Amino acid sequence: MKNLTSSVYTFEKLIDGNFLYVDKTEYIWKLIQPAYAQYFLSRPRRFGKSLTVSTLEAIFQGKKELFKGLALYDKPYDWKQYPVIHLDFGDIKSSSPEQLEDSLQQLVAEIAAQFEVPLKTSNAQAQFRELVLALGKNEKIVILIDEYDKPILGNVTNPEIDEILKELKGFFSVVKATEPYQRFVLLTGVSKFSHVSIFSDLNNLTDITAEADFATMLGYTQEELEYYLGERIDELAERSENSKEEMLSKIKAWYNGYRFHADANTVYNPVSLASFFRNKGEFNNYWFQTGTPTFLLKLMKERDFNYSEALTSPVSGSFFNSFEISNLDPLVLLYQTGYLTIDKAVDVQMPYSNRIIRKYYLHFPNQEVEESFNECVLDYYVAMKKGSAQQFQEELVTAVGDGNVDKFMDILKSVFANIPYSLHLKGEQNYQTVFYVICDMLRLYVQAESYTNDGRIDMVVEAGNWVYILEFKLDQSAEKALKQIHEKNYAQKFRHRGKRIMLIGVNFDSESGQIEKWISEELKD
């Protein structure tokens, strides 16, 4: 069997080191067929972007023998050598425009030294242009830029962000200005920003991020998993005394689910899979260990983000295009960074017309991401560490299933009581988020912003023989919350389920950050 790795991202090292390479060169063949092509590709972190860039670099350096046994090897390709400018922004320092300028100059200087091109100009933009013109004098060149958006994502809250963007704009403008000298261009990143000038200047790039033909180019499909890792799956199944089908089902629930086009197959995170098999089949949160979404959580909290509604309400097709750095939308950022993915698409006919519009529903791709993200949310919102969360879970879910509303609410009240003053929640949606995350972590059926004929219920929780209908108020009264449940007849849509229904009104005090009061009432026939 081939060796597995989650830390080698260079194609040549993978092949020479006898590491497993899932053959994606059929897709790459589609990219390089045209005599001239420029592309942009966005994918979440640790999803194979750098390996794709490295594979293209080996192709355009003419290293045919590395591809023996792969789909591309027998394609009608000339394997001509081209000068390759490979710029990796992954580790670039960019906390100020001056630091970014120095880092860009260093990147260009290193490549210029490799090709023995003397640089005479004094700034990064001019040096980049100088390098392209020198290398392209006698031969078309290839430009590969990996993680172009690292300086943006790392500085979204930086007061100097506008100057940093200006620096990047100037640098990337060279790509557009030197088109006649290019054979191939690829930009990769996590996100695509609109109105950053980078893409207004690079409108010649073909964005393949959401194209169906390339939806499974990164990540592993179910078929690829079973073909390339089937022997390992058999071994794990035998060791755990599970059937192969049971083992496949568990692996799918934990690591599959990323969908980059509504009509495309889902894919597995390759880093998570490699880590899973290298750790002898231990189910764990591997992708999440490589980075925590601190900035995202801060943005969600500051914007009073309706976390639960985001998982139940559809978005339009324009949602996927890009987002603006001047008006960051947490939901868009959650999607583009891989914490949410496309769950399904529904075609809806607009009223009084023949027009059909497509709406998209988002959700966590898998158990790995959902569990890890929810734990991070609790830690950030209420300073509850993973170990503490696990301690009260069994007690809480038992109380809910038994209909012990007093114990259920007392446990939740204690959660909020332990929030440090510096972390106090100020928006009603933040309190709702905490409730939703706790219930979701316990694998309870939970629905937020549930619609009825007369309004929206803040939250519905189902467990055992009980349905809980909760209404939240901030700096008002629990009585008012309960009254609203009655007046709007929120319970009506749940009467047919044959379960007991508990109505709960909750009021939060924004000053103390606590549950000020709650009252409950079992609905009687």
**Confidence tier at 218 by pLDDT (50, 70, 90):** very high
CA atoms of 183 and 208, how far apart (whole Å): 18
Task: Tell me the percentage of the chain whose pLDDT exceeds 70.
Answer: 90
Span 320-333, mean pLDDT?
A: 78
pLDDT tens across 116-150, in order? Answer: 999 999 999 999 999 999 999 999 999 999 999 99
Please give the C-alpha separations between residue 120 and each of 101, 126, 127, 140, 141, in angstroms, as whole numbers. Answer: 16, 9, 8, 22, 20
Which numeric CATH code is attached to 11-214?
Answer: 3.40.50.300
The beta strand positions in 19-122, using DSSP E, are: 37-42, 84-88
- Going by C-alpha positions, the residue among 524, 523, 503, 505 that lies closest to residue 515 is 505
Q: What is the largest CA-CA distance in the chain?
A: 86
Q: How confident is the model at residue 317 (pLDDT cuts 50, 70, 90)?
A: confident
Domain ranges, ordered by start, for the chain: 11-214, 222-290, 294-522
pLDDT of residue 124: 97
What the block records as the tokens of 14 is 């993978």
pTM: 0.84
Taking CA 436 as the corner, what is the angle to CA 307 and CA 452, rounded to the nearest 5 degrees?
A: 85
